[in-house]
Structure formats: C-alpha cells, structure tokens
Structure 1
C-alpha cells in the first residue's frame, strides 16, 4: 500500500509501495462525488495537481486531522491506488478490509451532513430526546450509510470517528453506537467487535449489505470479501448474481477456523512484533474469550497500581471502553482488578462506578483491621504447618513459632512472605533457641528488605543492579541485565565482554538480592512496589548530617544517580563496533538484527532519556561521548537514524547538534556545545520547518528553552524577538506548541521573553485556541494575563471559546479542566454569541455536544 504525507514544502506526496514495516496511519472513509472528475486521483498527486478540485477539501481535512492525532501518514482510496493497472485494483480490493482494520484511526467524512442540521430542525433549546432523534435522522439521511464499500469501513477499524462536511466531529462508533445500530440493523456485538464476524451466519452478514448499493453491480459482492474473510479474483462484467454465487462458493470452501487459527494468522502477519503490540494482544484476548457462548472467563489483574504509568493508563482506558460496551448484557469476559486507591487510578474508573461493583477495603477502622489481622494469622498458621514438615518441628515448636509471629503489630501478607523465606533459609531453629531466634526476625517489611540486601555477597554490584532496575524505562531481560552489569570502557565489541550464561546469571541475581528482585519470563523486576518505595529517596528527602540509621538501604538510591549509571551503560553500548546503518538496512528481519545485538535497541531508544534526567559535571567522560552522538559528521550518529525507524512521534527531518539536543531535552549538552554551533539556533528541520526552540517547547523541556533564551542569546544573534516568533511549515510558533501540549513552565518562559500571544498559524488559530481546546487552564490563564485576544477567529470563524465548548465532555472536562477554561475565557471578555461559519455559537455547541457544566456556565453568563 502507498500512504499519503506532506512533503518538506507542505505539499501532498505519496510514499513508495509499502509491504513491510508499515508506519502508523489514518484512513479516510467517504463517498465519491457525483462528478467523479472532481475526485483527486493517483495521477493528480504524482503530478502535483488536484488542489483546485472540490474533493481536495476532504483530503486536506484528513491530513490535518491525522496531524492532530499525531499521525504523519494517511490513506485515501481515490489517490493512493493506481487504477490504471487492473492488477493493483484487484490486489487493493482484496486487501481493503485489512488496510482499514490496521489503521490507527478511521475518519468518516460525511459530505452531506452539516452541523447546522440538528438545530435547524429543533432550535438551540431542544431537549436531549429531540436532539437524539434529530441526530439519528440527520445521519440516516447521509448516503454514506447506503453505499456498499462503507460497510467494511464501518466494521473493520477499531476506532471510527464521524465528521461533518465542515470537518467538525460528530462522535465515534462508540458514542453513536445506538444511532448506527438503528440505521444499519447491524448487531451491536458486531459493531463493537466483541463477537467475531464468523459467529454470525452467512445470511445474516449478507443482510447487513441488503439495502446498500454500489456503482458497479459486481462490487456489491466484492465489498463483502473482508467481512467473510475470503479472497477471490475480480471479474467485472459477470454481473451481481454471478459474483454473489462465486462469493458463496468461496465461503463454503473456506474451512471453519479452529480456536487458534485466527491467532496463528495474526502472528504470521505481524511476526514477533505481535508480542509487543498492546492493541493486537487485546484483540486476541477479546476474540478468543468471547467467541464461545459456553465460556465465562475471569481475568484477575492484581496490584494495578504497580504497573508503569503510561502502560497502566492504556490498560485502564481499554478496560473502561470494554466495560462501557458490555453493561447491557453479561459479558463472557470479565475482569477483577485490585489496586491501591491512588487518585489518578480512581479518577479513570470514576465514570464506571455507578454500573460496576466496587469494593473499597480501607483497613482503617477497628473492625476491618481485626478481620485482616485474623486472615493473616490464618496464613501464618498454615505456613507454619507447611514448613514444620521440612524442618521437622514438634508441636511445641510450632506453637512457639505461631505465638511469636502473630504478636507483631505490622503484619502484612508481604511481611509473612519475606519472613518465612528467612525462616526456611536463614536461621537455625533449635528447640532451645527457637523463641530468641524468631524474636530476632524482622518486625516490618522495611526491616525485612534491609536484612535481605545486607546479606548480599557483593554490595557494590547489588547496588548497581538495583540502580538499573529502578531507573529502567522497561524491565530488562536477563541477557540485557548481564550485559549492563558487565560492560565497561575497555570493551570495543560484544565479543570482548565476558557475559554470564542466562541460567547461571539468574542464580547470581538471587545470590545478590535474595527475594528483593524476581525474574519473571526472563525479565528482571523488583519483588513489590514497596521495594521501590523503600529504595528510592523521595524528592524532598535528605539525610540529616551526622545521622545514622539501622536501615542503611532505605532511601539509598537517588534517582539522578540511577539515571546517571544507566545513561553511562547505554553510551558504552552505543560505542561498541557491532552496528551501523548499512548493516541494519541490509538485514531483512529487524527484530533478528536487534536480537543478536544485546541491549542495542534499549540503548538507542532510551540513552537520551536517562542522560536528560541525570546530573553531569565537566569531568564526566560520558558527556563528550554524548556530544559526539549529536554530530551528523561522525559515525556515532548512526544511532539517530536507527531511532528514527523505531520512534512513534514526529522527528526532525535533518540532523544538527542543536536540533537533536533540543529535541531530546539535553540541556547539559547544549551548554557545552561550541559557540559556532549555537549560531544554528535559527536552523529549522527540513520536514516540519521547526527550530530547536520549537521542538524543545513542544516537548516541555524548560531547561533547554531557558538555555536557548539565557542571557538574551536569541536577541543578540537575531535581533529582539525575531527568533522566538518564527513559524514552522504549519505557521505555528514555539508558543503554539507549548500551549497545545500544556507545558505551562515553558509558556511562561516564552511569554517573559517576548513571545507574541496573538500570532496565528495557517488555520488562523492562536496559542489560546490550542490551549483552550485541550483544557490547559493554567496555560490559558498565563496567555490571558499576557493580553491574548479571547474573541479572535480562526479560518472557520471559531473563537477560543468555541472548541472549549465543543470538547468539554463530562469525562474530559473533569480531568482536563475544560469547564474551568470556559469560566476563564468568559471572565476575560469572551463573547459567547459569536457565530462560526455555520452560524453556530459556543452555547449552541455546548448544548449539542458538551457537558452540562459547560452549558450551564455559558447560560449563567448570558
């Protein structure tokens, strides 16, 4: 498949025909113009033409929406398929379902639906029932729901968003589920993809397309190929009936898949990358557990709070969507979650608490404490009985052991686990000394942790291993950890490093750290979240001078020191002579390339993150090495191009030391760059036209922005204010990017340095538009205090108040502060009666789409 993207000049261009390693992309679903000559074709794009055609508007819409969703690439059928060759047309039709299925986002552009329709029928004061009825009627009137090809475009993608002809969001497949079901008669489990399509019989699936039409009669059958999971050659001219007959024959000849066949096919399609794709693994879980009505599967997810933050949020959001879709019937797949009641976790589940059972064990009142203590005592008694057989304890010794262990006031399940490990492996229980020995056991989890680590046979190596574990961006494998501990400045290649075999290294870790560190699926983890809390010193903690503590391991690891150690290890790994760009490009299997080069992928992806979080001084050898990694004229820069192939976010199109250091937030490197390099402060990358300060501002790297602005560097080089307001290829300034992403510290720095608050981008949007739309109330307040215009209009005649009202949904508003932004804008003089190019006001938008709070706020200010 080919994908569309904007080239260096902001013009549309096509990628080469891609077969492997297809990047994340968005896909457009639309209906063709009555005059097909108005559609932008493959030849138009190749010739740099087509911008004057009426259909060019929807392609521009798709490009902009994809950019807003962080996607560089997108696909549109009219211009991504070369229809001059029948072979390509045939291959594309047989691949179409898969292309829509694999898209990150599918945008449905309804060219015959206007956002004014609902209110033109009901008025802005319509009650919610009338609005729901009108919205269904307006959608039902769209020809998109009558076309054959759009059926698979509705069913295949995981995320489908609907937009009006003005490019305004109407909702998605989830929020519009009931309307879509009513219009199409497609069962909700099929829309949700909670039930595999092959669980619906053939005739029922054919009925989904019964009222749909295609321009070429044979396409009525061809557009159903993906829904039935079959492939067949096209034969235009055979007629609809013959095409359907061939389709039925292909369906009949397709063997019924076993339970594992779809999973095997996905693995064959994705390869080893399947195991690293959350979305694919989730789809497999849902498909495997919901396709059999006799089954009920309960997944227990214990200690959710111990997950890494971004992964945990992704899991919670997915579980929330899954649960919200299955509240109308008993699902075959259920989840039981346990977690500490952290505020951010509770907030993400808050909207489900009314529909799903929740048990909060506070453990605070006497009754609950007594019950928990009783349960722990039961565990202690049971464990004593178990070990009494192996340790040959008599009844009196068992009784003493139970008595002593149940006396403590700080008993927890984790403490029991740790103490019994020491009883079995660490102390000698003799009849005469059993009571004194047991009384010498740790009385708290912290004491147990400290004793475990104090027994290490190599304190220095243990400390280094723990530094690595707590700072690592992801759990390291045994092979990666073995290399991390062994690598040194003297090594030139992997062959120079004496690596301990994996199985022996597993035993070495146990000897070094005891139970404190565990190995699961060949990956190294801390035993428990409390182990991290025990080791890592909190930000505000400092050891009093002259103080001593019996718990010498508590708060012994400082985060900056941990990142320093891991940064040095990554830099050493990148210095080994076992990789280069030509070697990677020549390798057909990138996964295999990294598998044979231990720790290389981790070092490429995360060295800069660790370097940024550490403190460095002039004598650190790693600083000079890191500077060389930012220079395009040196072989050591090969890592950057490898990183480009692994990255999921936009990256600079060219490579200068200052651009790279700013992109990754490496302020320690910037302050050590030669003065002649700092003169490149105004250089822009070739893809997005963004400068160093633009990249740093967008990522929120305040220290880098401050260094670029320090002492008037920008003003001295370029004249007062010239640099800070320079625009990229989207017409956006550093203040635009910082405002959109909510980096209030950077916004403040830019404003104090003279950034223009009312500068407009190519869409006519100011920083206040972007901050308001995304609910960044602190940024909005800073912009307003600096004179931002509350009533400035963009190209769609929308003011900053308009997108705030549009996106202030209940769940978003409560978390992102949209309702607070509404109040700030109104208090600063925003006019709620300003109309956009469809004659909608902010109050109209809030009434139709937004939260009750936003609408009430606007009403109260009338």
Structure 2
C-alpha cells in the first residue's frame, strides 16, 4: 500500500523496500480490509483505524513509501491469492525492511505496570505472531498510542519471559529441534483450528495444500508428515514428555487403547522446550507412511515390569543424560508381529542407564486417522444369556442395541481401542407381574494389557426408568464400585443370582451368562433407580453450589459497593455541612453517587432474587429426597456431599483447619469464601448448640474475608453479633480497625434488628470507636458517630478519650469529626492530660492547630503541673513550641517541680528549643526545686552544645544547686570531661566547694575519673593554693595510687609545696606502700620516685647527712652542691634509686611503731630506733615484713595502725597524718597535750657494709 496515496499497488518480482505490520486482529467489522481500500471506503473508526493510521504515519516518518498490512493487503475472497499469502507470509516478514509490532493492550513504557502489561500482552499468545516475532531482522514494539517501547534486540530478556523462547533463538532458530519449536507454539491459539498448523509453515520451512474444514488435528498431522519428509529429527515423536518423575517409569494405561503416533496439537509439546537430538548421531530416525501404517525403525527396550519403550535419538537437556522413550505395546499380545500401537494417554519419559546401542526394529504403527473399517477391532468377544423358565422372566431390553442379535440371543462386544477403556453392556429382564421392578444385568468387559476379563453385576430398577438412562447414568455416578460386585438381587417376586462361564467359538471368546433362582429373599442388593435419583439430586445440588459460587462473588461485590456508596454518601453529606468551599462540587458528586447507587441497588435486587431461589432449593432439599432408601443410605449420601464439598471448598487458615468436626470445618470454609449454598446446606447438618458455639468464629471469618452476603446470611439466622471471637473482638470491633466500611455500615444499619451494642468493648477494653481512631479510618469514625457511639468511652489500655487518642496519633480529620460531634475539648485522662497536651507531646502540629482554633485552653496543666509548652519543650518539638509561643503560651510556666520549659529543654539537650525559648524572654537563671538552673541542668546531663548556647547568652557559670554544687562540680561528679573542658575554658572556679566541703578535683579523684582530672589540672591557672587545696588532692592521689595525678599536682604546685610538705607526702606514700595491693605497687613506686625527685638538693643532702652518720664516717664527704655525684659516676638509675631508698627510708620497726601514733591526740613515741638488725631495705621485702607485722597485731592495734582514705574525710577532710599541712597550726606541727611542738622525723636506716665504694 502506498502510504502517500493510500492506494494498493501490486508488484511481481521487484518491489521497493517496505515495512510490515505485526498485530492481533480485533472484531472483523473494526478492521480495514482489502475491499475497503479498493472502494476507498475509509470512514471506519475505532481500534482498526487507529492501528492503520499509526502504521502509515510511522512508515512515513521512517522514510518508507510503501507498507504491508495483512488486513488490507490480502484478498481473502480469492482462494489462490489467500493460499499464496499464507504460504509466503514468513518470507514476507523475513525480507521486510522493518517490522512494527503494535501491542494494542500495552500502555506507554513510562507507566509503573509496563513490565507486567508487556509480558501479558495478547500479542504473545497468538499463533500467527510467532513467525512475526522470529522472521524479521529489525522488529520494533509500539504501545497502543504508537509510542515506541523498544527493539527486539534490546528486550530479549522480557520476550523470553513472555514467550518461553530462549534468547539465543530470537536472532536465529534453525538450530532448534522440532520439539523445541513446537513447544514455542504450545501455548498459542488461533481463531480457526487449522491455522494452528498453517501458521507454522515458515517455522519448519514446509508447505502443503490449505483445506479449511478438515479439522485442526488433521491439519496438524499433515504438518508433521511434511516435517518428517524434510528432517530426520526424532524429537517430533517426543510429545507428551513427562519429566516430573525421572526415576519412576509411568505405568501404561490399564486399558490399552489405540492412540496416535503423532501429536494431535502443539499443546502436546508443552514440556519439550529442552529436547534436543543426540549430537553424536545426526542420522536421525526417518518415519514413512504407507498403506495405512507408519513405518519406522526404533530400538526397543523392555523393562522388568514388561513395559516396552521405543528409544528415540534425542534427550532432554535439563537431564543431561539418557534418552527419551515412547511407550509402545503390541496390538495382539503373545503373537509374533511387528504391529504396535502407542496407547492413548501414555507419556514419553526420559530413560537413564539404557544401552542406546540396541539394534533397531522395524515397526508398523496403524494410522487410525485414515478411513477404514474399524469395526474389526471392536467385535472380538460375545456373550449369551440363559433365563430359567420357572422365573417368569423375559429379556425385555438390551443396550446398546447394535450389540444384540435377538434371533440368536447372542450379544457381541469387545475391545474398543478407539473409544472406551471399559466396555459396558446392559440386559433388562422383566417379570410377568405388572407391579414388580425389573432386573438389570450389567456386563463389564475390562481390558488389562490387552487381556479381557468380564464381570457381571445384578441389580433392580423401576419399570419407569429407561435402560438407556440407566446405561448413561451409572458410569457417571461418583463411586461406581458401590454398584458393582453384586451378583444377587430380589424384586419382591423373584430372587436371582447371576453366574458366567467362558468358551471359545472360532476366533471369539463367548461368555455364557446364566441366571438362577434363589429361595431366600435378598436384602443387600442395589436399587439402581434410587441410586440414580440420589445421584441426580447430588448433581443438582452441585450445580446449585457452582451457580452460587459464580453468583456469590459478584453479589458480594455489588453488596459491598452498595454499602460503600451509602457510607460515602453519608460521609460526603456530613462533610458538606462543614466544608462550604466544596459546596458546588459535593452535590454533583453526591448526585452521581446516588445514580450509581440506584443502578447497583437494582442489580443487587436481581442477584438477591436469584440467590434466594438457590438457597430456597437447598433448604428444602431434605424434604424431597427419596425416603425409601433408608436412614443409613441417606446418611451415606449426606457424607458423600460433605466429601464433595471438602474437595470444592479450599482450605483456610490454621484456626479453621484445626476444627475437629468435619461439617463445622466445612461450614467455616464456606463462610470464608462466601459460598451461601454450601452454608445453607451445611447449617442444616449442624445442631443449635454447635451453631451457638461457632457464632463468634463464623461472624469473625465472614468479616475478615469481607463477605457481605455471608455476613447478612449469618445475621438473618440469629448469630450473636455481640459475641467475642478468639482474639477478644466483637464483630464491629473486628471491622472498625480494619476499615471495613461496608461491614460497619451493615451492622450499624441493622443494629436495632440484631441487637448490636455499638459501644461494646473487646477483651482489651477498647470500643469500636477507639479502634477506628487508632487505625485512622475516618469514614468508619463518621459512621460510628452517626450511629451515636459514645465519645466519652476511654481506651482502657491507655486511659485515653477518643479525642485524646486522635491527638496522640495525629488524626486531624478524625479530631475534627469528634469536635463536630461535641467531644469535650478540655477533657482530661487519668493523668490529667488534655488533647492539646497530648498533641504537643507527640508533635502533631495539625491537631494542635485545630484544637487551638477551637479555643482549647493553651495553659491547661496535667497532674504534674505541665503545660503544653512544657511538654513540647521536654520532647524537643521546635515547631510545636513555636506555635504555642505564637499563641501566647507562658514561657516561664512552672510545673510541680518548679521546672520551666527552659529547664526541661536544657536537661534533654534540645538546644534548638532552648534557643527559641531564650529568644522569647525565658528566664535563663530560673531554678527548679533542687536549685538547678538551665546551665546546671545541661552540665548535669553533659549537653555541651546546649551549655555553650547558655554561656553565650550570659548564663551565670557559678550558679549552684541547693547542695552548693556548681555546674563544674556536677560535671566532676558525673564524669563529663568534655563539659568540664567547656566550663574550664569559660573560666569556671576550680576551687569552688559544695556544702560538704569537696571541690571538683576531689570528686574526680574519689570517683577515679582520670579524664576529668586531666582537664582540671591540664592548665596552669593563677589559682589560690589554699582554695585549690593541692595538698589534700595529693593525699587522695597517693592513697589511690594515681601516679599521673601526682605528676600533674607536682607540676601545678611547683614553687608552692615546701620541702617539708613534699617530705611529708613522701613519708605518707611510703607508709601506704607497705600494705598496697600488688597491682598498684608499680604505680606507688613511681609516686615515691617522683616525690623524692621533687625534694630540693640542699634538703636531700641535709637529710642524707642527718640519717647516715656511719656512712659519712667511712666515706669521703660529698659537698652539698654535688648531690648528683651518683649520676656523674655513671651508676645505673636502678642502683641510684635503691641507694636513695636506703638513704631515706625509716627502719621497719620504727615504721610500725610510728604507724600506731598517727593521731593528734596520741602520745608521741620515741623518735629513734636502733633495731636495724642489718636488714636490707628493699621495698618488696618491706611490704612483706609489714604485712607479717600487721597480721601479728591484735584488732585494737590494727585499728590504730594505718591511716585510711576515710581518715581524710571530715570537716574539710581534716584528719591529716603527721608532716602535712594543718590549716590552723602551719606545716609540720602536731598538737600534743595542748602545746605546739615541732615534730622531727628520725630516719635511721640499717647500714649495709661495702654497698658503695669508700670513694663515695
């Protein structure tokens, strides 16, 4: 077709480059046909015109002058042209310059559902589009609006998912096996059955005459025969492949019936997508057709069970090994023949560990699709019947009649390989008594592995029932075994039994059936008329069930839509009164909803009338059942119905499936899917007690599945609407939190009739209104308020009103509805909190603004005196705090603890809120009941950023709490070193003391907080030594073995500690060293060394001369300025340290005696001692000796022996050991008997001869 002129032009051999359209046909009248173009009748509109115009427009845009469209370029009325077009179609698509694939059911690519829409497109399901996908080299997909979706080469993964064709075959498929190509067409369909074969011409490169009317199966058989003429690929016989049970060989059918060797449709290849020929043998297996037989050569393999398989030269690639076998069996068992058949319904399988080198056998397989006399295969067996003359019985009827020769009283039957698996024949015998029922003999000829076996069954039937009806109905009964195996029967006038014998007559087997009279009346026999009536009613019931299942979902949807529209109208009508801005729009919406509601209501009425008729039929069923069959038989029939429903009704959740009683469980299943017919039937099988006990679960199940019709059915039959289910929820309590508007409206509309308590709480103490508020279902809340639900009901779990709950969860629209319904604006919960306070606490500014607009008390206080601003500041909500301040909230409001909003914000570290409050004139120095200012609170919790902000706003840095602790002391108490650094940097007083006398440094030492201690001692500051009390800190540091702190104190106190003070510290350290734990011994040794190094050289020489006279007598005197002579002599440091210890340590005996006199009130002991005994003064030996000495003291001595850390705690920690600073008396003084006396320590160390050379 010329895209410029819109006319058709015909080409013979040479034609211009053209694009081609691939699409799916719509309605015949919508498409633009060949005649429409010829007549220039292009007035059609609709999908066909959109497709036509879009294709022409795209061809022009791509620079083409011509385009080929099958709807208008093929003259279908001309058979020759039409056949040529179908035969050439594949090549036309293959040689086209471009192919436009128009997907009329796929939206643009930008939509969120594009991937699913593309995969589900109808284009992927049509037979003709398979070749249109594979043939073109340049294929582009377009959406229904002719927007480009993508090219085939870029969408291979999506195409593979949509079609099942592996990506490697989309560019070229000639390497794919026949079975693989067939599998691609297995799930595709065509409008005309024969086209399923014709559309595969190009896929297999074959052609054969087109004959519409021959049937899809015949056309597909001709396609396969044409393929067999071109390729030796044996995979064409691998159809019906079963790979699910790779280790189990499928049993051949119990009755071998003739089947086709070739597949009947592409659907037979659905599981053959991975079947490929052997790579090692490309010769294949050719199959010929001749004289009504298929001739082929196949190796045969017979299993141990006697099953025969023909081995094909192909395998399933998913299995990686073996070969595929097709089941075969001989037509005549036991005969040496080459005639085989493939049993109908048999499956090809993958065989493993099979010797594939079997010698091939020549096989003949009959082609039963050819026209021939098949009767020869059906008439192989006969039967005759003998009736006793005394029984007054005659053969009245037989079925089928063509199997009965009345003149010879001989019937013929046999193996029908074409149709039936089991042959049934019927004989009717009638008594001469007019009122008597008839006898019926059923002859069942069963074939197993081509071996025949006849079974005879005797039963009675009403005269009014035709034998034809009996013959049709009996095989259709659900359990045929119940009517078979009976060989005796009685009709009230005659008692019979049936027997059979077998004899051969020519080539036929003749079964002789003889009837014999019995004297005793039979009780256990089959009345086939009653059984058929029960089966008929069963089918009728099942039909009603199915009809109900079809109508049920639609009726349920319509009913739910009606209720939802009613609820929508109610909500909009309520909304209409409070929203004047939507006044013009809402009436139109309400009117439209009413119009839709009217239509839905009419539809619902019609469906309800039909459904009522179904339910009425089911409810009266028990009255119309035949009663003559007995109670036990009726119970069996009801049980069979229940079993049928058990298969029909899908299993539900664990709660339903755990119900022990089967009928109750089925009843709950029926409720879950809204199967009213099953509910009506099963409810008649349940007693009243069972119904009452299942009432809560039944209603809950109907509500959870939103089955309105099921819920209405339950309510109309009196199920308790105020009961609680296993979760403790009432029906309304179940629907409200789930937002089930239709269920809520239904229950509220019928509350008077069903006795609904709209405010009834569940086991958790929550009413339906409370649950709807919590779960933010606005329309449900509106329905409950219209139904006069109580607004004052509280959530027992949280003691909150509905309005407070709405404020808690930020439900603005629900809060508005509650306020419109006159909810108490300032109602308090048990904690005294109002809705405004709750909104401020949770940070919901929308609800807060609504409450403020409704004039809520902005200064309302809770039980602890907190205002909304106090709560917002505590939680750190900046927007809420700003909103409250803008509406005049008191910035300095105090709660019961005298805390202001600024206190609480600082205590929580909300510096943004702190800044906002300071900007609104908050009192920065306000204190709470414990004396905390905002800065002290921030320091207490170590919020550094908040503290810096307060200090920048000139907060008083020395503000103290009621116990005298400044912010710096609080940082020391709690170990906040970073906050301490900030305060020290801002000039905080390190010497400030609390009421108990401690300062920040002492707290750090008592708490063993070295990090904060480093901060306090890390800077040299001009601090008064008495205020700082370095000596007391030194005592604590020595007692706790903090060598690092001693080093810092010595550095900070340099020039302030006197030599006598340092000597006192040294003495105190050595006293502690004797009884210190081993893990602290190293630190204590380091402290002693540092203190010794801190003593001035002159004092060291003086002490050395005073306490070592024996050494001075034996050695050369060292001048005072040569105190470092040991260092000049290059004596190692360890020996110098030992020498120093020997020079200044107190003897052990004196050490112990003096240790017991360290008290201001104790009498002083002798200052000297000669108890040296020549012992070496090694510190480790001294510690062991001291522990031994201490262990030998009594408890009184030990209690007075050594100073402890507790002895340093008192008024200013004043219980100082000797030689340390005393605030009242000065250094190195003790009060003895009320007098001041200078205390002089005597250091006498046992001499160790020849320790050092005399030159020292």
The normalised TM-score by structure 1 is 0.26
Q: Which of the pair is proportionally richer in helix?
A: 1
Q: Which of the pair is proportionally richer in strand?
A: 2
Flag the structure with larger Rg.
Answer: 2
The normalised TM-score by structure 2 is 0.18
Higher relative contact order (CA 8 A, sep 6+): 1
